[in-house]
Amino acid sequence: MNPIHIALPKGRLGERVYERFERAGYGCPAIREESRRLIFENGETGVSFFWVKPSDVAIYVERGAADLGVAGSDILQEYAPDVYELLDLGLGRCRMCVAGKPDFRDDTARPLRVATKFPKIARAYYSSLSREIDVIRLGGSIELAPLLGLSDVIVDIVETGNTLRANGLVVIEPVLEISARLIANQAAYKFKNEAVAALCRALERAGNGAG
């Protein structure tokens, strides 16, 4: 039988996600060994894993290079890939928030300048409030923008809030709850339906009572 190809996000979240697969009975011992291999297959459980950049997982899955993948709901909202979202794994929980200087006051006489890595999410959020914004798309170090007067606020992911605090910024309002989601390629979901459904059930069971 054809194995299920699974794209995992590189990094800390990916490792916790892999542990969930392992607990669900879909482990792949070779993945724990130090090696330069990129693809790990377990013939017994019928799955193969590979690590990719977190923001690329959805692309691999949408294009069918991976049957399943795990991506943050922030990436899914921002890029809106044409995939099925099958499970909320409840891992990697954090929030997308609006943040700014403690003395920030929204000057409604002009568009709000918003610096972010997530322009689509920012636009959708402010459009739901009928607030006109000027999106400033940045690739990183978003916290700098309000400090240097580049933007009024930022829309960014907040995990512990330490980076914000260290830079004298505060959360103004939450935008979106984020967690890791199991996504599936549409055609693979059909052709490997029984195996995918069994894997989903096992992941759900393994997730009950665990974080």
* Residues in contact with other proteins by the rule CB under 8 A: 62-64, 79, 81-88, 184-187, 189-191, 193
The minimum distance between CB 82 and other proteins, in angstroms, equals: 7
The minimum distance between CB 147 and other proteins, in angstroms, equals: 33
Q: Which is nearer to other proteins, 164 or 188 (CB)?
A: 188
Q: Pick the closest to residue 68 from 47, 54, 88, 53 (CA basis).
A: 47
Taking only Cα atoms into account, the Rg of the chain, rounded to an integer number of angstroms, comes to: 20
Q: What is the 8-class DSSP label of residue 184? A: E
The minimum distance between CB 182 and other proteins, in angstroms, equals: 10
98 phi/psi in degrees, rounded to 5: -90, 130
Judging by DSSP bridges, how do beta strands 4-9 and 47-52 pair with one another?
A: parallel
The minimum distance between CB 30 and other proteins, in angstroms, equals: 27
Q: Which is nearer to other proteins, 141 or 186 (CB)?
A: 186
Q: Pick the closest to residue 84 from 203, 184, 6 (CA basis).
A: 184
Q: Which is nearer to other proteins, 155 or 183 (CB)?
A: 183
Q: Pick the closest to residue 121 from 189, 69, 176, 70 (CA basis).
A: 176
Q: Which is nearer to other proteins, 62 or 152 (CB)?
A: 62
